[in-house]
Amino acid sequence: MDILDRIVIDKRKEVTLRKSLIPISQLERSVLFGLETISLANNLRASSTGIIAEHKRRSPSKAVINQSFNVFDVAEGYENAGVCGMSVLTDTKYFGGSLDDLLTARASCNLPLLRKEFIIDEYQILEAKAYGADVILLIAAILTREEIKQFSEFAKSLHLDVLLEVHNEEELHKSIMPSLDMLGVNNRNLKTFEVNLETSKTLSQLIPNEFVKVSESGISNIEAIKTLQPYGFKGFLIGENFMKTDNAGESAKHFINDLL
């Protein structure tokens, strides 16, 4: 059993518990539930840099990245740096995040916020909306085509953008549908954790142009972005690179200035 399988098993238990504690009606009454969303896809289309900066405390592959940052400061710093959007990891067991991190980020910036989570149930999409997210992530590796369709259409009904993540050609072919806004290529092999930018280059040619192309994982320098831009990528998800420094916002600012 690989790490993704273990995460999904734990996630099913977690969602079952959360559903028993907080009914859907309570999520729908949240102050943020009626908030107008900001489109990450539109921001990326209009940007020459396309940086989506991540708040990430730790990961199964890297253990602790940074436990000392305050989400409020990170979100504010990223916004000042001029990023296109912010990704907030809300998984607790494996990544040390929480829905409260999303809430804090929403209170501290006007960036489009991506709930970075292992979504296996519509309930999590309602949570995303109730806690201030503008975008959800769907991971093709853990979902059937029917689930991708169901979840993406449900997200669109709540005016949320949808970023679908793939790792290979098979996942891409089962996933392409009109209810997606962005297609993300994860350069990390989830079984070995090895990172290879060639994955993005290869899959880019198979992604129809109506979707915003996003490259994820292993983007730690300007050269990587310059290499991928000619392949049609408009979005670049960067987490570790900024989070492992003393000041994530400043680090993002210098990175973007150098990119320009």
pLDDT digits (tens, 9 = 90+) for 34-59: 999 999 999 999 999 999 999 988 77
* Bridge partners, 64 (sequence order): 58
pLDDT tens, 224-243? Answer: 999 999 999 999 999 888 99
Domain coverage including residue 55: 3-259
Helix (H, G, I), strand (E, B) or coil at 239: coil
Which CB contacts under 8 angstroms, 24+ apart, belong to 22-26?
24/123, 24/126
How many domains does the chain divide into?
A: 1
Q: Which of 66, 217, 241, 251 is catalytic?
A: 217
Task: Check if 59 is active-site.
Answer: no
Answer yes or no: 198 catalytic.
no
56 as an active site residue: the answer is yes
CA distance 76 to 64: 22
Instruction: Identify the band that residue 61 occupies on the pLDDT scale cut at 50, 70 and 90.
Output: low
Name the active-site residue from 186, 187, 215, 251: 186
Q: Is 165 noted as a catalytic residue in this protein? A: yes
Report the C-alpha gap between 172 and 180 in whole angstroms: 12
Which residue among the candidates 127, 165, 171, 240 is catalytic per the annotation?
165
Kindly tell me if the per-residue pLDDT of 193 is higher than 90.
no
Decide the pairing of beta strands 51-55 and 58-59: unpaired
Residues present in the chain in total: 260
- State pTM to two decimals: 0.96
Active site residue 186: yes
Catalytic: 147? Answer: no
CATH number at residue 12: 3.20.20.70
Catalytic residue at 234? no
- How far apart, in whole angstroms, are the C-alpha atoms of residue 63 and residue 113? 24
Phi, psi angle pair for 110, to nearest 5° = -110, 25
